[in-house]
């Protein structure tokens, strides 16, 4: 902002062909008068709101609004605001689209590449934007537009979470127009100080040079400091499964590490098939310099991962599923892997406040690792349950067997499948939802999106609904107690 205040000054009537010595400020203003148009403003703001935003919005909008007040160009105050807002929306859509098609892994790799660093990008900036999105959900797209350092990148987590396009555009326009109006108002205010700025034009130019030098020194110092920290042996924790682009684990733990000043990193290890699973454990077993201390496990590996472990906790023996693995190294750095299940704890703590009546019965949709963890929690809470799956076995019924009486007798219905998640966001378990009433409680282990189709249908029938966000937080905290 100091740069903006220093740059904005009155073009004191000096023509471009004058022989009088011009200050830096006067040169800038002459360039703005000759070259700044609405399309140029929109283009610069589109770049500023995307990954390519090297020129700050203060230098674009405030100076353009200042020049517009001179009536020497075709620009108007509100025209500048509108053009800047259109550009901000275009830039936001660029980031949103890249996030949707590239995914988290590719974007973070780009941010930490040499190309990313050239455009002043790094993974920490993307993480900060994700923290905002996790904390404030969809409204963060609007609020984040008013926060320097967040505003350019808030479109990324919106794209990663597949936020609906129309609300995204609306929130972007509202937040951007507010920010752009404030910057244009700054230009309006400084226009009233033109006599003072004219008097100290050269002094302000020198101040600009000094500020630029200080900025270069600051970034150089910050770069060297970060380089030093990277060379230290930071502990590594992570999450494995597939897909991971929808998970909030990295944002959750990175915020925790930063807040508690823990020298650690959280990485995502996407594993698509058995070969990649074997390679992952080979790396852990054979590379003693691999600083991985432990990791969480998500779909679809919670059961597949058990044969690779050296030891399991009682919670795993009870549920037959793992979602947390601690790596214990002996004096020779030979690793031993112990598996735990914190999903049971996470679900139990999340559902307990809502179980207001005794002798309630439950339906668990799914029979995978998460469903088994939930069944263990329900046993502890003395809740009778029935598994539902597509295939009939001795321990479950099928969806086609679920009748009106089944729904009436089971007031707690839990989705422990991945229907409603990722590419299956528009799907839900096939139940006769028309028999659900206000007496029912629907719980979905999925937390992104915040309301799945399963929960939406339950809400439309008058049922109470709970998503998996609290379960996620509970199990993550419990996992950290094990891994740290």
Q: Are residues 316 and 405 in the same domain?
A: no
CATH number for 466: 3.40.50.720
Phi, then psi, of 315 in degrees rounded to 5: -65, -30
d(Cα 427, Cα 358) in Å, to the nearest integer? 32
* 173 and 203 part of one domain: yes
Pair 35, 220: CB distance under 8 Å: no
Residue 218: Cβ within 10 Å count: 10
Answer whether residue 351 is part of any domain: no
The CATH number of the domain holding residue 268 is 3.40.50.10860
**Where a domain ends, among 193, 226, 259?**
226
Instruction: Answer yes or no: is 348 within a domain.
Output: no
3-state class (DSSP) for residue 16: coil
- Asked if 188 contacts 65 with a C-beta cutoff of 8 angstroms, the reply is yes
Q: Judge if the upstream peptide bond of residue 300 is cis by omega within 30 degrees of 0.
A: yes
Whether residue 377 lies inside any domain: the answer is yes
Q: Which domain holds residue 68?
A: 2-226
End-to-end alpha carbon distance in the chain: 41
CA distance 298 to 474: 15
Closest of 87, 10, 106 to residue 45, by C-alpha: 87
Residue 38, classed as helix, strand or coil, is helix
The Cα–Cα gap between 426 and 386 comes to 25
Does one domain contain both 12 and 121?
A: yes
Beta bridge partners of 335: 329
In a domain, 349, yes or no: no
Is 346 part of a structural domain of the chain? Answer: no
The SS3 of residue 438 is coil
How do residues 332-360 score in pLDDT, each as one tens digit?
Answer: 778 889 999 999 999 999 999 888 777 89
Residues classed as catalytic? 302
Residue 416 lies in a domain: yes
In terms of domains, do 8 and 123 share one? yes
458-459-462 Cα angle (round to 5): 95
- The answer to whether residue 58 sits within a structural domain is yes
Lowest mean pLDDT among 113-122, 139-148, 404-413: 113-122
285 and 377 co-located in one domain: no
Residues 169 and 284 in one domain: no
Identify whether residues 287 and 395 lie together within a single domain.
no
Contact 70, 12 (CB under 8 A): no
Question: pLDDT of 6-56, one tens digit each?
Answer: 444 344 343 334 444 555 655 666 666 677 788 888 888 888 888 776 677
Mean pLDDT (whole number) for 258-278: 87
Distance CA 53, CA 423 (A): 31
| Angstrom distance (rounded) from CA 328 to CA 321 | 20
Based on the structure, what is the number of domains in the chain?
Answer: 3
Task: Report CA-CA distances (Å) from 166 to 118, 139, 161, 173, 275.
Answer: 32, 13, 14, 11, 40
Domain boundary among 341, 371, 386: 341
Same domain, 10 and 135: yes
Answer yes or no: is pLDDT of 384 > 80.
yes
Query: Is residue 478 domain-resident?
Result: no
- 158 and 276 inside one domain: no
Residues 408 and 433 in one domain: yes
- Give the integer Cα–Cα distance in Å for 240 and 308: 14
Judge if 336 and 371 occupy the same domain.
no
Which residue among 341, 368, 400 closes a domain?
341
pLDDT tens, 202-256?
Answer: 666 667 668 778 878 887 887 677 666 655 567 889 999 988 877 888 888 888 8
Considering the domain architecture, whether residues 216 and 336 belong to the same structural domain is answered as: no
State the pTM of this model: 0.56
């Amino acid at each position: 902002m100091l740069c903006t205040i220093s740059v904005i000054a009155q073009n004191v009537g000096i023509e471009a062909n004058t022989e009088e010595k011009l200050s830096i400020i006067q040169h800038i203003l002459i360039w703005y008068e000759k070259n700044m148009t609405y399309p140029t403003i929109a283009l610069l703001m589109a770049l500023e709101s995307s990954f390519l935003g090297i020129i700050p919005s203060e230098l674009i909008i405030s100076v353009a609004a200042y020049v517009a007040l001179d009536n020497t160009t075709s620009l108007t105050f509100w025209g500048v605001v509108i053009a800047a807002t259109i550009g901000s929306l275009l830039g936001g859509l660029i980031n949103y689209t890249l996030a949707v098609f590239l995914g988290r892994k590719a974007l973070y790799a780009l941010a930490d590449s040499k190309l990313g660093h050239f455009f002043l990008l790094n993974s920490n900036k993307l993480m900060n934007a994700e923290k905002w999105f996790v904390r404030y959900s969809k409204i963060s797209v609007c609020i984040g537009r008013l926060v320097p350092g967040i505003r350019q990148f808030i479109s990324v987590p919106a794209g990663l979470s597949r936020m609906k396009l129309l609300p995204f555009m609306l929130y972007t326009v509202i937040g951007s127009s507010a920010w752009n109006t404030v910057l244009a108002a700054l230009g309006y205010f400084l226009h009233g100080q033109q006599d003072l700025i004219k008097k100290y034009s050269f002094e302000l130019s020198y101040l600009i040079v000094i500020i630029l030098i200080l900025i270069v020194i600051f970034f150089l110092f910050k770069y060297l400091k970060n380089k030093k920290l990277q060379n230290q042996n930071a502990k590594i924790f992570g999450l494995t499964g597939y897909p991971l682009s929808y998970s909030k684990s990295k944002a959750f733990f990175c915020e925790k590490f930063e807040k508690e000043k823990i020298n650690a990193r959280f990485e995502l290890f996407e594993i698509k098939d058995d070969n990649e699973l074997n390679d992952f454990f080979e790396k852990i077993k054979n590379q003693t310099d691999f600083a991985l201390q432990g990791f969480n496990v998500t779909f679809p590996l919670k059961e597949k991962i058990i044969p690779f472990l050296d030891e399991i906790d009682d919670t795993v023996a009870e549920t037959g599923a793992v979602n947390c693995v601690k790596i214990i190294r002996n004096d020779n750095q030979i690793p031993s892997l112990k598996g735990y299940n914190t999903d049971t704890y996470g679900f139990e703590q999340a559902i307990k406040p809502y179980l207001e009546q005794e002798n309630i019965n439950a339906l668990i949709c799914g029979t995978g690792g998460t469903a088994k963890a939930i069944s263990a929690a329900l046993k502890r809470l003395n809740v009778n349950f029935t598994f539902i799956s597509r295939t009939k076995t001795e321990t479950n019924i099928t969806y086609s067997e679920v009748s009106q009486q089944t729904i009436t007798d089971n007031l707690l219905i839990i989705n422990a499948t991945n229907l409603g998640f990722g590419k299956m966001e528009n799907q839900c378990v096939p139940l006769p939802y028309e028999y659900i009433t206000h007496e029912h409680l629907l719980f979905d282990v999925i937390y992104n999106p915040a309301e799945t189709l399963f929960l939406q249908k339950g809400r439309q029938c008058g049922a109470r609904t709970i998503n998996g966000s609290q379960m996620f937080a509970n199990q993550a905290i419990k996992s950290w107690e094990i891994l740290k």
